Amino acid sequence: MNPAIALLRPHQWVKNLFVFAGLLFGHAWMDHAKLSAAIWAFVAFSLLASAVYVLNDLVDREQDRQHPKKKFRPLAAGTITVPLAIGLGLSCLALGSVVALTLAGSAPWVFFVYLGLNIAYTFWLKHVVILDVFVICAGFMLRLLAGTVGIGIVPSQWLLLCGLLLTLFLGFAKRRSELAAGEGKKGTHRRVLAHYSAPLLDQFIAITAAGTIVAYALYTVSAETLSLHGTRSLIYTVPFVLYGMFRYLWRLHAGAGGGDAAQDLLSDGHLLGACAGWLILVVCLIA
């Protein structure tokens, strides 16, 4: 991949699909104004996230050179110059800010809270044990808010709960993968890893994985869900969630993934199949 494009990490934009959850579960996908605002919210988050990735790579390029995978990032590998990286980052920041302020719904504050939170994460919060993962989770929750509150949809408490638990699971799985990758030199490429241990992270992962599955299963049979969607059959989507979670855990413990949720999803046919099967069945049941 061209180093300039790789620096922006376009594969990570898949995370911004969270902004469309409100359209799906709020039955608003046929509302053209809301759909347009959600698409622009996706664009704004993609641009702003790329600006954040550039900043992160600029700050961490020395530490990334000590990591078995991150050492191949453009700035760490020296395949792109610092001035060019700064120019790309500022361009993404400017364009993303304009889109957030003008086209991406009625809650531009969501995008700037996301920016502020990630700047604080880059320089400080990523070194605070447990809080670092909650900040990662907050980034996903802000995407959900941009796709609900930001476009005039009241977010379901179930949507927020499932989103919270799922993203905490992904965050702790990321730390578990990073800890395994840095085994023997713990904390050298990410200082916060010195405060984690494999058994502790395994407990966090088990709690959040179980919580995600139980919360989603309860959502599918709740009275609120039956009233909103008019179907009792969403329970049949649970096996796809179970398979996806178990596949992700297998990849984590087999050493094949867990460090990058977007890359894992795009590179694993089983995860893609589980997500696609879940989405198709959900749409068929509630459309």
Of the pLDDT bands very low, low, confident and very high (cuts 50, 70, 90), residue 186 is: very low
Of the pLDDT bands very low, low, confident and very high (cuts 50, 70, 90), residue 210 is: very high
Of the pLDDT bands very low, low, confident and very high (cuts 50, 70, 90), residue 113 is: very high
pLDDT at site 251 = 92
φ, ψ dihedrals at 222, nearest 5°: -70, 155
How far apart CA 250 and CA 186 sit, in angstroms, is 23
* CA 115-137-149 angle, 5° bins: 70
How far apart CA 259 and CA 273 sit, in angstroms, is 20
Q: Report percent pLDDT > 90 for the chain.
A: 66
Of the pLDDT bands very low, low, confident and very high (cuts 50, 70, 90), residue 262 is: confident
pLDDT at site 60 = 84
pLDDT at site 184 = 43
Instruction: List CB contacts of 232: < 8 A, sequence separation 6 or more.
Output: 221, 226
Give exposure, 178-200, as e/b (b: 16+ Cβ within 10 Å): bbebbeeebeebbebbeebeeeb
How many angstroms separate the Cα of 147 from the Cα of each of 17, 140, 227?
9, 11, 22
**58 with 89: CB under 8 angstroms?**
yes
Q: Look up the pTM and report it.
A: 0.90
Average pLDDT, the chain: 90
> pLDDT, tens digit, for every residue of 15-34?
999 999 999 988 888 889 99
Choose between 54 and 189: higher pLDDT. Answer: 54
Of the pLDDT bands very low, low, confident and very high (cuts 50, 70, 90), residue 187 is: very low
Of the pLDDT bands very low, low, confident and very high (cuts 50, 70, 90), residue 185 is: low
> pLDDT, tens digit, for every residue of 68-104?
777 888 888 888 999 999 999 999 999 999 999 999 9
**170 with 128: CB under 8 angstroms?**
no
φ, ψ dihedrals at 153, nearest 5°: -115, 130
How far apart CA 131 and CA 104 sit, in angstroms, is 29
How many angstroms separate the Cα of 172 from the Cα of each of 17, 46, 168, 216, 260?
21, 23, 6, 19, 11
Question: Mean pLDDT, to the nearest integer, of 162-167?
Answer: 95
3-state secondary structure 25-44: HCCCCCCHHHHHHHHHHHHH
Q: Is the pLDDT of residue 162 over 50?
A: yes
* CA 190-134-278 angle, 5° bins: 105
